[in-house]
Amino acid sequence: MANPIPEQIFRDFEQIPFLYIFVLLLAALVLSGLVRRLIPALARLLPPRFSYYLLPMIPIFRLLITGVTLLLLVPTVVEPTMQNFIAFFGAVGLAIGFAFKDFASSLIAGIIAVYEQPYRVGDRVTINGIYGEVQAINLRSLKLTTPDDDVVTIPHNCIWNGSIYNSNDGCREQQCSTLFYLNPEHDPELVRQILQDVALTSPYTQFSRTVRVSLKELPWATQYRIRAYPVDGRDAFIYISDLTSRGKAALSAAGLKFAAGSSLTVAVPPDA
């Protein structure tokens, strides 16, 4: 009986098909790049509502491409036996567990985020107090563009413990809230009607949702809040600016006085 030859995990150097690996990696990179460019291009060609279905597919496609590439790649480097795979992935897992704990955590969170969808490409979210539009979902992190045009990279593992405020949750619409503070001495019905008309006559307003104006008495002012939806949620800040500037003009023209400290307008999540 011959002595069992200890099984080696990796293939011999000369057995490894480097050209195949190179081509495979190149193909994966090209495919991934194509997905990143073609899907947004397609979304731009189609009516805007389709972008909310198309853009979230980017990370799913990229995850699939990465997974398939890995599945094809590993057997070219590792001897394809069950023990070897267990040993290989065990070792990789252990190394990652110790050395790249946070990295691995973000990777796994990224996979979960793709399926759970707390955010999708195109969503307007607030994560760790940062508000912005999700521009890209990569394997480890997502990229937000803030209203100031800053790009913020946030690792996916924020989903483990943090709260994520999603203003539109995959829909095109997003409620916008615009606040005005007026000197308390005025006719509230007149103000409500003026602010209602400010929203109703804005070109941005979406009419499938109701425009509401509510008021709250504060010790130093009467607060009015317009709650309305723009046609495209991406215009939230332009819409709020439009309502603010036209609202101020309308109230001033009607002879109404703002509270000391002027008017304030803020965008708040729908549930605030």
Partner 1 sequence: MPEEKGASLWNFVKPDKFELPTEPAGKKAHSFLQKLFSGFIGKDDENGMEAVQSELKNAPGSLVDWLAPYPDWKKAAAAMADLLSPWLEDENPEGNFRVFVAPYGSGLAEMLQKLAENAGWPILVAPDYQALKSRDFNWLDTIPEKSDLPLVILKLEAFFLRHYNGLEHLRKLVSKLFRSRQRCVVGCGSWLWQYLDSAMHIRDSFNRFYFLQSLSAQDLQQLFCSLESSRSFRPTVFRQADNGGFVLPPELTGKGRLESAMVKADSSSAAFPSAFMKKLAVESRGVPLVAWSIWRNSLKLAPDEDVADMAREVADKDAAAAEKAKTIWVKAFKDVDLPTMPSDIGQAGAFLLLFLLQHDGLKTDMIFDLLNFGKDQLIGLLNRLQKAGIIVNENDVWRASWQGYPAVRRFLAEQDHLQDAM
Tell me the CA end-to-end span of the chain in Å, nearest whole number.
76
Measure the CA–CA gap between 168 and 206, rounded to whole angstroms.
Answer: 14
Nearer to partner 1, 158 or 267 (CB): 267
Nearer to partner 1, 166 or 206 (CB): 206
Q: How far is the CB of 235 from partner 1 (least distance, A)?
A: 8
Chain contacts with partner 1 (rule: CB under 8 A): 47-49, 172, 193-194, 197-198, 200-201, 203, 207, 231-232, 235, 242, 245-247, 249-250, 253-254
Nearer to partner 1, 111 or 238 (CB): 238
Is 123 in a helix, a strand, or coil? coil
Would you state the torsion angle of the CA atoms of residues 72, 77, 79, 85, taken in this order, to the nearest 10 degrees? -70
Q: How far is the CB of 244 from partner 1 (least distance, A)?
A: 11
Q: How far is the CB of 195 from partner 1 (least distance, A)?
A: 9
Q: Which two tokens stand for residue 255?
A: 């002879």
Q: How far is the CB of 37 from partner 1 (least distance, A)?
A: 19
Chain center to CA of 39 = 16
Measure the CA–CA gap between 211 and 176, rounded to whole angstroms.
Answer: 10
Nearer to partner 1, 106 or 178 (CB): 178
